[in-house]
C-alpha cells in the first residue's frame, strides 16, 4: 500500500473507532449535567471552569477578574480530538466586530439551554485539555452550540 494511502486508511479507521465508541447523547436530552472528556464533541459549551485553572492552563494569559463572587468562566470546545480537546475560554466582554461570539438568545442543542448574553470566545487563550477528569469534573454541560449561533470575526 502506498504511503499516502496508509495514512488516509489509518485516519479513516481512527475516525470510525471514535464514532463507534461515542454513544448517542441526544437520547438523554436535557438530563445531561456532566460529561467525561471522552464524550465531548465539537461546539459543546460548559460552565464552571475556575479562573485559577484557566490561568494555569493559559500561562496567565486569561484575563480573569479574580473577584470572589465571580470565579468561574465557561468554555467552548473548538475541536474534540483523541489526544486532548482544543477548548476556548469565554467571556461576557468582547468586540462583536472582531471576535467570535455565541449570540444571546441562542438555544443550545440537546438541552434547550438559552444563552442569556453574548459569550465571546477568547481565542488567544485557547488550549488543549488532556482527556482526564481532573479539570472537567466540576463543569456543567449546557449543550451544543448550533453553527449558526457562532457569530463575528473568524481567526
Domain boundaries along the sequence of the chain: 25-152
Q: Considering only CA atoms, which of 128, 125, 107, 131 is closest in space to residue 45? A: 107
Region 92-105 average pLDDT: 92
Lowest mean pLDDT across 123-127, 134-138, 148-152 = 134-138
Using DSSP's 3-state secondary structure scheme, residue 71 falls into: coil
For residue 3, name the pLDDT band (cuts at 50, 70, 90): low
Residue 112, C-alpha cell as written in the block: 434547550
- The answer regarding whether domain 25-152 maps to CATH 2.60.120 reads no
Lowest mean pLDDT across 58-67, 92-101, 126-135 = 58-67
> Which pTM was predicted?
0.76
Q: What share of the chain is helix, strand, coil (3-state, %, to 5)?
A: 30, 30, 40
Beta-carbon neighbour count of residue 70 at 10 Å?
11
pLDDT at 135: 75
Lowest mean pLDDT across 21-25, 73-77, 99-103, 124-128 = 21-25
Residue 155 has pLDDT above 50, yes or no: no
pLDDT at 89: 93
Cα→Cα distances 119→20, 27, 92, Å:
32, 27, 5
Where is 133: in which H helix or E strand? helix 133-136
Residue 139 has pLDDT above 70, yes or no: yes
pLDDT at 106: 97
pLDDT at 120: 95
For residue 103, name the pLDDT band (cuts at 50, 70, 90): very high
Residue 147 has pLDDT above 90, yes or no: yes
Half-sphere exposure of 102 (CA within 13 A, CB side): 32
Region 94-105 average pLDDT: 93
Amino acid at each position: 500500500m502506498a504511503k499516502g494511502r496508509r495514512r488516509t486508511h489509518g485516519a479513516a479507521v481512527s475516525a470510525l473507532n471514535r464514532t463507534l465508541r461515542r454513544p448517542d447523547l441526544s437520547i438523554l436530552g436535557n438530563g445531561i449535567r456532566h460529561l467525561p472528556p471522552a464524550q465531548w464533541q465539537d461546539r459543546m459549551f460548559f460552565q464552571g471552569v475556575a479562573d485559577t485553572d484557566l490561568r494555569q492552563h493559559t500561562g496567565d494569559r486569561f484575563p480573569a477578574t479574580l473577584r470572589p463572587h465571580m470565579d468561574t468562566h465557561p468554555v467552548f470546545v473548538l475541536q474534540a480530538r483523541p489526544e486532548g480537546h482544543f477548548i476556548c475560554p469565554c467571556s461576557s466582554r468582547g468586540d462583536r466586530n472582531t471576535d467570535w461570539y455565541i449570540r444571546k438568545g441562542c438555544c443550545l442543542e440537546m438541552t434547550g439551554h438559552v444563552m442569556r448574553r453574548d459569550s465571546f470566545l477568547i481565542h488567544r487563550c485557547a488550549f488543549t485539555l488532556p482527556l482526564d477528569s481532573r479539570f472537567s469534573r466540576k463543569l456543567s454541560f449546557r449543550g451544543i452550540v448550533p453553527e449558526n449561533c457562532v457569530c463575528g470575526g473568524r481567526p
